[in-house]
Structure 1
Amino acid sequence: MSVQSFTTRLDNINETQDSINALSTYMILNDSLFDQFINVWKTHILRADSSRKLLLLYLCNDVVQKAKRQNKSRYLSKFSDTLLDIINPTYHAVDVNIKKKISRLISVWEDRFVFETETINNLKDQINKPAAKEPVISQPEAQVSTITPELKHINDLFQHINQLTDISQGNLTQLGIQSKTYLNLESDNLPKTQVHLNKLNVLEKLSMVSISNVEKIKSTREDIKNSVESLLNVINDGIKTDNTKIAVIRDKINKIKEVRAALSGELKNSTEQSNNNDGNNDKDREIEEQLEEEDDDELPKYENQDSESDDEIPSKRRKLSPSPSAKKVAFSENIEINEFEHEHEHENEEAEAEEFEEKDDLKDGDDEEMNDVSDSVQQEEEVYSKEETPSVMDLLKKLV
């Protein structure tokens, strides 16, 4: 049982006493939802047409009189407050005939002491006042449906079952009540025979309607079952498809690993080969540098061809000298031990340097000057050969 069920029952209520009695009993029995039932009833009566407004007031009358007999003051208090809110706009929204019926209803409540005197007086004041502006009933915001299309049909079927169940429950309730009254021939409250027969006809029709309602509920349940089975097949097919997709994706993952391993191997080989090439290049450079150093040590360096020719004469002269001392003696006038002193050696070096400078000046001269130099060199060599070279022992003796 829920507010939705009560709303469905309220929409399906009719003017028969049985329908009104069944719904009022339903409201009394659901004590925990009564406040919500009152709010739904208030909304319906403000939006209903004239005849529907009177029907809903009759429902209110049946509820409050039952509550009065059962001493349920909370029901009376709740309905009295609600009636004071809606009686004025409801009364002025209907025609004259219905207004008379509403006034008659308030008088019944007063005569039977359903409400307190203060409440009755306030109700009379409200209907005698000019028409007040009808209270605005805010429309509930439309709820955004979050039901998927696959489940929407099943959801609709379940809602239809709830509606059929509410209708069937009301009919079954009436069927049970009237069966106890008219099917028991030993009851003391049986009506006259003709009336009794009419009531039995109504009870039979009510029974047929109840069967029809239950058959509709059964058919709807079968539709739900078929829809669920169809949905289950769709779900199973979806699971198979998902498994296939997972298998394909796993194959791709394995392929990714294979390609990654191949590329990693190629990258490693390429790196090693590059390192080897770099090492070989370093070795080749070292060898080339060593060879260049050896070539630099073995091969003489000449600034120009002329300097080579200029150095030939002094080199020949050095070859002819067996020792540095002999060379110096050959160019000395006085053979003494002092020529080996540091000062004489320095002077001889300066003399040789001057002589080389003179010879450098001669390199740009003509052939005759070169010949003269050659002749002088030959003469010096002859003088050297004629003079007697002192021995080492003689030089040592002089030193001592």
Structure 2
Amino acid sequence: MSFSEDRLVTKLNGLDETQDSIVGASRWVLGQHKNIKEIAASWDTFVSKPTINTRRKLLAIYLANDVVQQAKHKRVSEVGVAFGEIMPGALSRVYPELSSEMRQKVRRVVDIWKQRQVFSDSVLKKIYAQLKNAAPHHSSSSSLTSSSSAALTPELQRVVETFDQLTRSQADVNSSKTRFDSSVEALDPTSAVYTDNYKTIQKIGQTAKDALQLSVANREKAIKELQVLLDFQNEQLQQDQNLISEINAIIAAKDPLSLQSAPVEDEVLPVYEPSDGSDSDTDKSDVDEQDTAGRRRRKSSTQSIEDKDDAKRLKTVAVEAQSGLEEGSESADPATYEPTPAEVAVNSPMAVTSSIQDLLSKLAS
């Protein structure tokens, strides 16, 4: 079977701390020993990627350790040569990234290489030089990371926890998938126990599917948490933009230039008491109008009665005056009767006329 870099990456991603996982991947690599240079180069590329976490890089070093030791035991020298060419450079990039505990594990592996003479002396000398030149690891960086994680908002904390679960589930997916692929490759249809082996593969396949289902659930959860975080940030963005607009409006309203250029009104408009449009205002208005109309009707009626009374009095005075004149003219004796000045004033036509004029004046007023 020809070498596939993607297949190697899959196996590296599926490694865990168990011996079975390391040994199984090591056998696959040794089975591709004819392409060992390509395998070593792909391994170097994998551990040099900054996106690969340090735990997975340490597991890759464990795999390389088992590969070169098994190759030496089986006298496949080209494997040790190929990894010896890339190992000093790879460790120069990986070792400084590791924690103190991981560095101790790598140093024990290198000491084993020296004891068992897995690599040549020149290669081992370069490797030890890289370990010695690496900057000392400070534990404060890990405490800083933990303190930073503790200071995360609840939304970000949930996202971090979800991605931690996703990372762990992905490791199980890679491991179970690698085991399933190896089992399928080893399945021989001509074997007498083919049926039993097929049932075993079914179980291994179900384990891989269960791991994948868990990974799918974790990814859906991660997408949901990220969507919540995205929606929250969009809301905060809109609020910030609204606050910017509000500040701009306040600054523009307080600008001295705008205040000086504002027009001054010559006359003050009258202020009317606003009506709330309630029924009480309408009823009050109707009552006021009814009262006004009633007073006008009563005044008109009173004035009409007074006018009639005055007209009656005027008519009575006129009749009495006329009767007085007639009686005076018939009964008065010119020889014996001499009217007094008061009688003359009362009975004279001018007096009657004056009385009528007085009544008319009263009516007019």
TM-score normalised by structure 1 residue count: 0.37
Asked which structure has the greater RCO (Cα within 8 Å, sep 6+), the reply is 2
